[in-house]
Structure 1
Amino acid sequence: MKIVVLGATGNVGSRFTTQAVKAGHQVVAFARTPEAVQSQPGVTTAQGAAEDTAALTAAARGADALLVSITGPMKDGDFMQRNLPKIIEAAKAAGVDRVVLVSAFGAGDTAQKASGFARLIYRTALRRFFADKAAADQLLQASGLDWTIVYPINLKDAPALPETAVEPLAGVGRVPGLPTLPFDNVAAALVGIITDPTTTRQRLLITTPRGWRPSR
């Protein structure tokens, strides 16, 4: 596959890029600063910002899928709401139907599945951040594209764990405590998700094998 990555210099996007090319895919790293993208076989770069519809359209022509793994400053309460419509417009103009969005566990109705302590954090210190994520999720679902939205739990820079759980949100009853997952695990899960057509129109939790409980 040919995959365009927004957020290719970020913690998740950079690792996704490396793992995707190792799996045999081509990656176009769309970034404000292409020189910050790690040079490696199978990766080309295109310069532009998320709000630059024309540049993203040009970069995405001929691609099979688009991974959106971007996050604005915590104080910016409408970063995703401003930028995602322009990304959707670019994907449609470029003829790319497959879009995978990296959201965050705690956004929208996913918070109902969190522990009491986690919900307190989501509703206070991170309230605007998660509200923006939730609104963006709804925009993508209404776009008419072949979307998938993923909700990673808390992430950290650590060696990869042997296993990762990827579960449809409808089947998740609870995410106890505050589980954390290394960036590399999420990146590997995303490579599998974006290349799997059966995940289209699904909302998926990415967590540790023990970091979730099924619905009753």
Structure 2
Amino acid sequence: MKITVVGGSKGTGAQFAKLAHQAGHAVTVLSRSGQAPSGVRALAGDATDAQVVRDAVAGADAVVLTVGAAKKVPHQRALITQTVIAAMHDAGVRRLVVQSSLGAGNSGSQMPGFLRFAMLLMLAKPLADHNTQENYVSSSGLDWTIVRPTGLTNKEATGSWKALTVSDAGMLGGTITRSDLAAFLLHTLDDKSSIGQTIGISNG
């Protein structure tokens, strides 16, 4: 599979790009820095620039979006997501997997009470960005999946996770490793049953 990762120079995106490359996929990473894991095609550019993104997704079978926030740009994720969706339509690319965040949208019921209060209080602006991002994705007409991780850590991968849609019974834990999240994103990419689903994920 040919996969374009938008925002894959570090963090979860870089972990995903590395895993996808090791699994035999042809991976392109678009980031402002132009950095990417060894063996992965790297492109430097502004992911809000329509032409830059069109070049990055051209010929791809799927796009994975793992962008973070940017200083003094209150809706960075949403702006990039809007640009990526338009580029995918232009290029005829259908499959889109997006990393959002638990706390966005209707995911409050999946969170422990203490975590819900803390996130809504401390992360109101980032969650507003994610809400707009998710709205763009769910109305895109693409074959999309939104993944909402809990608090991210840099611990070693556990190889296991709990993944729930909002209609599933149960509650998620407080954290997930970036490595486990990356592995789940790779699994989800080829899982047709996840299309049109919004999934919360934690390590327990």
Q: TM-score range by the shorter chain?
A: over 0.9
> What is the SS of the residue equivalent to 1:135?
helix
| TM-score, normalised via structure 1 length | 0.88
Deviations 1:46-92 (A, max 9, x none): 22221011111112111100000001147643222322211111111
Separation (CA, whole Å) in 1 of partners of 2:183 and 2:159: 11
> What is the SS of the residue equivalent to 2:122?
coil
Deviations 1:180-209 (A, max 9, x none): 12111011111110122221111112212x
Which residue identity does 1:32 align to in structure 2? R
* Counterpart for residue 171 of structure 1: 168
Separation (CA, whole Å) in 2 of partners of 1:50 and 1:181: 26
> What is the SS of the residue equivalent to 2:8?
coil
CA gap 1:154/1:47 in 2 versus in 1, 3 angstroms: same
Q: Given the alignment of the two structures, is residue 90 of structure 1 paired with residue 87 of structure 2, yes or no?
A: yes
Report if the CA contact (8 A) 1:111-1:122 is conserved: no
The correspondence for 1:148, drawn from 125, 145, 150, is: 145
* Counterpart for residue 61 of structure 1: 58
1:37 CA drift (Å) = 1.6
Structure 1, unmatched stretches of 5+, are: 212-216
The correspondence for 1:119, drawn from 108, 116, 119, is: 116
Q: Given the alignment of the two structures, is residue 37 of structure 1 paired with residue 36 of structure 2, yes or no?
A: yes
| TM-score, normalised via structure 2 length | 0.93
Report if the CA contact (8 A) 1:100-1:150 is conserved: yes
* Counterpart for residue 102 of structure 1: 99
Separation (CA, whole Å) in 1 of partners of 2:84 and 2:21: 23
Separation (CA, whole Å) in 2 of partners of 1:60 and 1:78: 22
> What is the SS of the residue equivalent to 2:106?
helix
Report if the CA contact (8 A) 2:172-2:201 is conserved: no
Identity of matched residues, %: 30
Separation (CA, whole Å) in 1 of partners of 2:131 and 2:195: 19
